Chain A
């Protein structure tokens, strides 16, 4: 069994390498040259990051007590977080209405196939294209970003959700069906609570994805921190771009910690020991202390 697995993985790796070689036109030397280009670009243009993006802008004059709240980094990030939050919640609501209709174990093929096609159609357009479409329809600004990411979230989250529903243990569904519960009651009282851990994880992942993607859709004028990144890119101010990228990275890490904490309410791990902010951040120290105490 193990040997067969190794053979399959080896064959797939070889196939991928041959495709890569074909895509690179057989010129493997480009990889070596590319790396040195990256080092030069990074050391000369991006490093050190220019943290002036977190200083208050000269115009309009900052009225707030904390100057950082008037900075481009803060304003852009908050706008991106707002866009991501609204579009994730709206997208989740759209997806949770559609995904039970797409799950094969909950609906007949006559219902599930058309809904799957609809979700695939929504998902097949990347959020960038949705953003361009909405910028054309309703103009520049965060509203285009919200609509673009809401649509993409419905398609993406819808697929994750119906695959989760299809993978669940059928016992509770069968018990509900045998006792005569309606499809709606089975979905709301059995399927959604049973998969709450996965749904929560997917929701937070999608929020994180939308925060990261807010940078991309901002480039086409759909608001958020991406709008400012695009401006700096135009003026070749890569050190400022790098500072904003670090800011996004920090926000993504914080969202990951929130996800870990939130999911502990609906899984077995949380029943044993619910994580605290202290042991999330200082996990190593806490464990060392516990080890010493045990000795």
Chain B
């Protein structure tokens, strides 16, 4: 039984031309990985490749989670159904692994409310998503993932547009999942946010890929090395 949740083997990402050198690594349970790098360097492409939405140029990206509901993905534009209500969106995550039964609806409703209260959005449950602010939408996307309870969460800038208080509240909501053995890989532009929560940093720069622990990254910054 594979203990890791993700293994990349000589993975080269990109659309037409390679955006990185071959990447080989593993991600275990409970890890929080922040992917850093300048705009257009390939952070989102890396996440999409792991989510199996983009074919790698070479190598493999294997997730060792259930095919249905094991992977949670929050895209950069959040991927919410704008004309659906907040509850409808969160129910998509809540119901993905549920088998049909008469009790399913009550169970799903309970899980939706639980996820919404974790991000402080339960009072907006029946509101259409299109009426929400950017920050509120981010919290709904997070609630959808919480309700899904995936083993591996891929989040593309899900803390951006949130102030420190709200970012902390969202991360606090995600932590119970991580304590349960899930892992989070998040693309972040805000380095402060990334360093506050991440246990591991992946840096993409000029086609090179660095995999460092958060401590090592901080040491490099203290030492005056440009990370």
**Chain A positions near chain B (C-beta within 8 angstroms):** 169, 171-181, 185, 189-190, 193-194, 196-197, 266, 268, 271
> What residues of B have a CB within 8 angstroms of the CB of A193 in the complex?
81, 83-84, 88
CB of B102 to closest CB in A, whole Å: 19
The chain A residue sitting closest to B66, CB to CB, is A180
Contact of A181 with B154 in the complex, beta carbons under 8 Å: no
Bound-state Cα–Cα, A21 to B79, Å: 51
Interface SS of B by simple majority: loop
Indicate whether B55 reaches chain A with its CB closer than 8 angstroms: no
Q: Which B residues, 64 to 92, have Cβ-Cβ distances below 8 Å to chain A?
A: 66-84, 88, 92
The 5 closest A-B pairs by CB, nearest first: A175-B79, A178-B73, A180-B68, A171-B79, A171-B77
> What residues of B have a CB within 8 angstroms of the CB of A180 in the complex?
66-71, 96-97
Most B C-beta atoms less than 10 A away, residue of A171, A185, A266? A171
Contact of B73 with A175 in the complex, beta carbons under 8 Å: yes
Chain B's interface size range is: 35 or more
> What residues of B have a CB within 8 angstroms of the CB of A197 in the complex?
83
Indicate whether B131 reaches chain A with its CB closer than 8 angstroms: yes
Bound-state Cα–Cα, A169 to B69, Å: 22
> What residues of B have a CB within 8 angstroms of the CB of A177 in the complex?
53
Contact of B75 with A181 in the complex, beta carbons under 8 Å: no
Bound-state Cα–Cα, A193 to B128, Å: 11
CB of A217 to closest CB in B, whole Å: 35
Indicate whether B148 reaches chain A with its CB closer than 8 angstroms: yes
CB of A171 to closest CB in B, whole Å: 4
Contact of A174 with B53 in the complex, beta carbons under 8 Å: yes
The chain B residue sitting closest to A196, CB to CB, is B83
The chain A residue sitting closest to B130, CB to CB, is A268
The chain A residue sitting closest to B71, CB to CB, is A178
Q: 21 A-B pairs, CB-CB below 8 angstroms?
A: A171-B76, A171-B80, A172-B79, A174-B48, A174-B73, A175-B73, A178-B51, A178-B53, A178-B73, A179-B69, A179-B72, A179-B96, A179-B150, A180-B66, A180-B67, A185-B92, A189-B88, A189-B92, A193-B83, A194-B81, A196-B83
